A and B are shown apart, each in its own frame.
Chain A
């Protein structure tokens, strides 16, 4: 599981790659800390390389979303694959995130 963060003037981009399961959740959450301080910038989470996500991963995403909403930032998930799409669907996350 690798996490890459890129920051531009208008948005913070997080590129997730690999499998976000419970075993790596803690370390991923740490790596994504910058997203919790978005300073009003929109957040784009690139899931193109993300193969798997468990509820621990969903919890991290929900935490980021709650923080962003409180400061008026948007959170966009990009290129979600079928497996993850299903999981987001089952948990009702489709209705709270934005997709691209």
Chain B
């Protein structure tokens, strides 16, 4: 929990840092682009300015040319003052850019015209030219600085541009001194040149709709600017004020301006005014959009990383879980295999191959009282549920078969247990057998399992009643059957994993093939159960080939090979003096087996104590009853079986006498049973057909 929160915080931190980085990058990019744009604007201003300078120079030259070309005409007209009007008219008519021309005579040049005389020709709006004399008390050109300057220096001069007229149009005036032969200034000829078109030219191709360009003199007076319809004059005025220095540069933050100067006369400055928003607004908006986009991508990325991290964690947990389950299954498999018999006597062999880690098949066998108890079973289904049920059945079989020698009640009890609370509707096919290893008598009962094969002269199916499987109906009866195996015969049991093994063509291995392999094995009379199982297993595997194993495969083979068996029988009545006969019987039996004195003595004592007990207590006082004593041995083990029809009594469950008490507290009785149980390897009791059957066994090898 804590570490997951930590990692989430670190993920959020990474996202925030990434966002900051993106923002920083975007700002840097914006600044760079802005700088580039500004450079671009500057280059553009230079270009315009150069073009303008050329235009202006050209224009000025043109005007100068106009004047010099018409100078002879003017000079000639000066013979008569009135003819100068016409000379001026002709002059301005000669050049469309010249809107007016004046000829300011030196004072008192024409005595007839008074002190001041200045003929003036000007173009009207309709293109006609008006001529008039403009000197007078309200227009004393001798006060004009330009006039005075030219008079004094006797060289031509251009005035600074000025605004004039009702439309405040921009003009400049070229003043030219007309000298007499002695070099005195007779008059100053002035040509008014219209500069207002400069403003139009300047503002025709502005990069942005509200950008505008201004031409100003070095002193800051306006030469040309945009028309009032294009730009409000207040804006122009504001820019001029900023240039002049009477307004701070930050007076209007919405505009920014670049000033470029002409490097040669008249050294005017070009001011490019742009609206910040117009120039950089789009870029800024673009930047914001880009930022938004980046942030969105980042958010999606963060979300994806988060999801990925979470999924990865889930995946890791799942794989850990899987590994854990795998480990547990491996342990479960160990446990399950551990429960199966591990060591096989020469005459028994079993094998189990699970289709999965754990399986629903089972085989088991154990020897008790000279009898072999065995079973084979198959739980419907596979995997863990089947395995769990199988374990239960295995344990139950071990417990139940301790109490009886009859397969039928074992199946009945198993069935009742399985039907109790069997909600998963699983069922089990099961075969239980009990083989007397001395007599070859086989008792068996079947619960829906495949019939075993019996290998004697030929391989045939053991005639077996099918019955219902375990776990179907609680009141099912399982018929017990019996037969006697001939020495050397083999019982072969298997689960349907063998007969239903499939190859890639989905063909079944089948019972016939099993029978064929078994028949082939009969030719070798010495073949062990282990070799037999391997032969069949190999045949099945060859048949299946590469096809995956679909079901658990379990086989078990039991050979009845009694060898050199000694079997003796004695019948007694319940009288104490019969003990002498019993002694003779045991002694002779032990002699046949050539047992040493100590062992013979132990066997005699155990049997005597048991039989004395039966004589004393089995039958009611005064009632005569028989006691059957069987002594069997295969020279490896001795088995005594004592059968009586008396009252049920299980000596294996009584408490043993305490052998640690002091003399006075020692009970007189109870020592017989104690001795029997201590002297023999096993003492087992069962009640069978209203008889007490007590088996005593001891290994003698």
Contact = CB atoms under 8 A, between A and B. Distances in A.
B678 A62 contact: no
A55 interface: yes
A54 interface: yes
Given A83-B597, A87-B605, A55 B663 contact: no
Interface of A: 19, 21-23, 51-52, 54-56, 58-59, 62-63, 65-66, 69, 82-83, 86-87, 90-93, 95-96
Interface in B618-667: 657-664, 666
Interface string B256-270: 000000000000000
Given A52-B605, A86-B598, A92 B668 contact: no
B1 interface: no
B577 interface: yes
Nearest to B601: A83
A55 to B, nearest CB: 4
Interface of A (DSSP majority class): helix
Nearest to A58: B671
A90 B678 contact: yes
A56 B668 contact: no
B620 to A, nearest CB: 20
A52 B675 CA distance: 14
A77 to B, nearest CB: 14
Contacts of A52: 601, 604-605
- Indicate the member of B580, B609, B661, B663 with the most A CB atoms within 10 Å: B663
B608 interface: yes
Interface of B: 576-577, 579-580, 583, 597-598, 601-602, 604-605, 608-609, 612, 657-664, 666, 668-669, 671-672, 674-675, 678-679
A62 B668 contact: yes
A91 B678 CA distance: 9
Contacts of B658: 92
13 contacts: A22-B612, A23-B576, A52-B601, A54-B608, A55-B675, A66-B663, A66-B664, A83-B597, A87-B605, A91-B657, A92-B659, A95-B660, A96-B663
Given A59-B668, A90-B675, A69 B663 contact: yes
Contacts of A92: 658-661
A86 B602 contact: yes
Given A19-B583, A93-B659, 6 more contacts: A21-B608, A51-B601, A52-B605, A63-B668, A66-B666, A83-B602
A83 B668 CA distance: 21
A91 to B, nearest CB: 5
Contact of B666 (A23, A83, A96): A96
Contacts of B576: 22-23
A69 B337 CA distance: 59
Given A21-B579, A22-B608, A55-B671, A82 B679 contact: no
B666 to A, nearest CB: 6
B583 A55 contact: no
A91 B604 contact: no
A63 B597 CA distance: 28
A55 B666 CA distance: 13
A88 to B, nearest CB: 10
A62 B663 CA distance: 8
B395 to A, nearest CB: 33
B587 to A, nearest CB: 10
A52 B672 CA distance: 14
B402 to A, nearest CB: 25
B672 A55 contact: yes
A30 to B, nearest CB: 15
